[in-house]
Amino acid sequence: MKPSINHRPAQMKKERERSKVTKYMISFFLMIAFTALSFYLVAVPLFDANTTFWVIMIAALIQAILQLFAFMHLDQKGYGPVIVMMIFAVVIAGVSAVGIVLM
């Protein structure tokens, strides 16, 4: 009895690679869109300065999250403790920044 040759693993690997490339491309174009939005908001004063500032800050936060999960591979298994430590560091940095501003 001959062992059957199964070509499924190779096909599954190609599909996984395509999904990774698709994820990278979507993340890249979203980051380009958020950057373009930020430049547009600065160039064309649609809102007051305070609203523009917060929209740009939210766009920057979304870009940072996209960078971490798409290009730094934090969405893979085993990075849970790293993510928790990064969140903890951001909270400490935020509290420290607010404390310094309020001094």
Cβ contacts of 37 within 8 Å, gap of 6 or more: 55, 59
**What is the model's pLDDT at position 43?**
94
Q: What is the pLDDT of residue 42?
A: 92
**Rounded to whole angstroms, how far apart are CA atoms 44 and 55?**
14
Render pLDDT for 11-21 as a digit per residue (tens, 0 to 9). Answer: 666 777 777 78
What is the pLDDT, as a whole number, of residue 88? Answer: 93
Q: What is the pLDDT of residues 21-45, one digit of tens each?
A: 888 899 899 999 999 999 999 999 8
